[in-house]
Amino acid sequence: MTTNYATTSVLLVEDDKNMCYLLKENLSSSGYNITICHDGKEGFKRFRESPFNICILDIMLPRMDGFQLAAKIRLLNESVPIIFLTSRSMEADKLQGFRNGCDDYITKPFSMMELNYRILAVLKRSTARTEPNGQNIHRLGMFEFDSRTRIIKSSDGTEKKLTPKESELLRILSEKRNELVTRSFIMNHIWGDDDYFISRSMDVYLTRLRNLLKTDPSLEIVNVYGTGYQLLEKVSNIESSNFESR
């Protein structure tokens, strides 16, 4: 399978050398530039030294496991796509993976065709998040949210930078404020799937956004049971000049 990402650099961290050989041969034939590491500390060292377009991590790694590695990568780069490739299929492991910021979680055994398609899907979603598309500035009650920089600013000048998924979720809700947005639409748009584990991961991001917006009583993210969500915005006395005068 030939991809459109011929110059895509991939950090592959896998301690099984036979698996590494098979993955490198198959992914290289698809046009990817593969860097292999066999333990978590080596993987983190290489990530700090060179830019990568995507990281594929095993979980059971020596010296530093995949969860720890993903968390450290996220401290350096909030947006680089991360795929966990592992034999651990327990629900708790999958949820932990999404909490640590992964974009996909693939359990062994798997086919190379499936892996290639999942890599392509993650890269396309990542590219779409970083490309300007439509309105970037969203005014929400006492907040001003820039979906391009992922910065949300309060009228008192307080700023916070959101993670890529938090930002994309808030952008969708902002653009469709006071409208119902289905769970399926959100999950497929941001994660590329709508399975149970992604649903649980999305709940974590929604909780973070609710905590962020709760200082403004005119804003509320409402759960429409069994269907989706609404970002409700009541009439506010806060004027846009609060931001423009700054």
**Per-position DSSP letters for 92-106, written without gaps between them:** HHHHHHHHTT-SEEE
Identify the CATH assignment for 9-130 out of 3.40.50.2300, 3.30.2320.30, 3.10.129.10, 3.40.50.720.
3.40.50.2300
Choose between 133 and 203: higher pLDDT: 203
Which pairs from 44-50 meet CB under 8 Å and 24+ separation?
44/69, 44/72, 44/73, 46/11, 47/11, 47/73, 47/76, 47/77, 48/76, 50/9
Provide the residue ranges of all domains of the chain, joining segments of one domain with +. Answer: 9-130, 164-239
CA distances (Å), 216 to each of 136, 155, 237, in order?
21, 10, 11
Element (H, E) at 213: helix 196-213
When pLDDT is averaged across residues 180-190 and rounded to a whole number, the result is: 86
Q: How far apart are the C-alpha atoms of 23 and 17, rounded to whole Å? A: 10
Give me the pLDDT at residue 135, please.
66
Sign of CA dihedral 79, 82, 88, 90: positive
pLDDT at 237 over 80: no
When pLDDT is averaged across residues 198-226 and rounded to a whole number, the result is: 90
What are the pLDDT digits (tens) for 47-65? 998 889 999 999 999 999 9
Choose between 190 and 22: higher pLDDT: 22
Q: Which CATH architecture has domain 164-239?
A: Orthogonal Bundle (1.10)
Is the pTM of the predicted complex or chain greater than 0.75? no
Q: Are 186 and 172 in contact (CB under 8 A)?
A: yes
Neighbours of 42 (CB within 10 A): 18
